[in-house]
Amino acid sequence: MSAQSQNSGTNTLMGVLSRFMNSSIGMKLIMAVTGIGLWGFVLIHMLGNLQIFAGDGGEAINAYGAMLKSMGGVLWVARLSLLGIAGLHIVTGIRLASRNKKARGPKGYQTLRTQYGNPLSRFVGQNMKVSGLIILAFIIIHLLHFTTGTLVSDDIFHSADAQGRHNIFNMVTQSFSNIVWVLFYAFANLMVVGHLMHGTQSLWQTLGIKSGKWGPTLEKVGLATAVLILLCNVILLPFGVFLMGANS
């Protein structure tokens, strides 16, 4: 293949990709695929965190954390992929929202009112950008809290268990003995629940399976996931750990 035809091939590919990423359907598909990735992460992360209630003084959760860290390069690939997916989701979400706002014009609110059934779904649907930005702020604070340890004291963040592993159990239980952290996590995770509840409904619509035979089942899957995250991340983890500390 000559250099010229190779170049024009690349340009065409870039052109197709750029047109796709700028089209409404392309943006919606990007939101759907990245949304599925983030949804999966939140669920897996939640299951991992529930090990805090194993009743073994932190053995399971500390071993889980050590196992993740022992993955080294693979963990970094996963972290960077998650960062890329989250970045693409945020940027595309903001672009899509501003494009939709322009397209709807002054009648936008009217359109939205008829689009969502009950007042709660309507409220959540109209505030996806706000909940998304709150979640972004939460993730930054959360990383400074539990990943870099910037927001916890050195002796808590650097404490090791009997096996010399990072004592995640101690770090989380000490943090959640403070009601301010408990309320902050409960509130931020409530935003995650709302965002996800509306996000999954849009996802089925984008993928064109909302009105099909699987529509009602998929709607229930979205709702069930949201309820699960509500029970575990909003109630059980922050308040349960708080009460566990108070009773020990």
Q: Residue 176: phi, psi to the nearest 5?
A: -80, 10
To ligand HEM, the closest distance from the beta carbon of 180 in angstroms equals: 14
Q: Does 167 bind ligand HEM (CB under 6 A)?
A: no
Among 43, 63, 68, 207, binds ligand HEM (CB under 6 A): 68
Which residues in the 184-223 window bind ligand HEM by CB under 6 A?
185, 189, 192
Whether 196 contacts 86, CB under 8 Å: no
Among 168, 193, 196, 203, binds ligand HEM (CB under 6 A): 168
Q: Does 139 bind ligand HEM (CB under 6 A)?
A: yes
Among 27, 31, 85, 172, binds ligand HEM (CB under 6 A): 172
Q: Does 148 bind ligand HEM (CB under 6 A)?
A: no
Instruction: Map 51-93 to HEC letters.
Output: HHHCCCCCHHHHHHHHHHHHCCHHHHHHHHHHHHHHHHHHHHH
Q: Residue 166: phi, psi to the nearest 5?
A: -55, 125
User: Site residues (CB under 6 A) for ligand HEM?
Assistant: 42, 45, 49, 65, 68, 79, 135, 139, 142-143, 146-147, 168, 172, 185, 189, 192, 233, 237-238
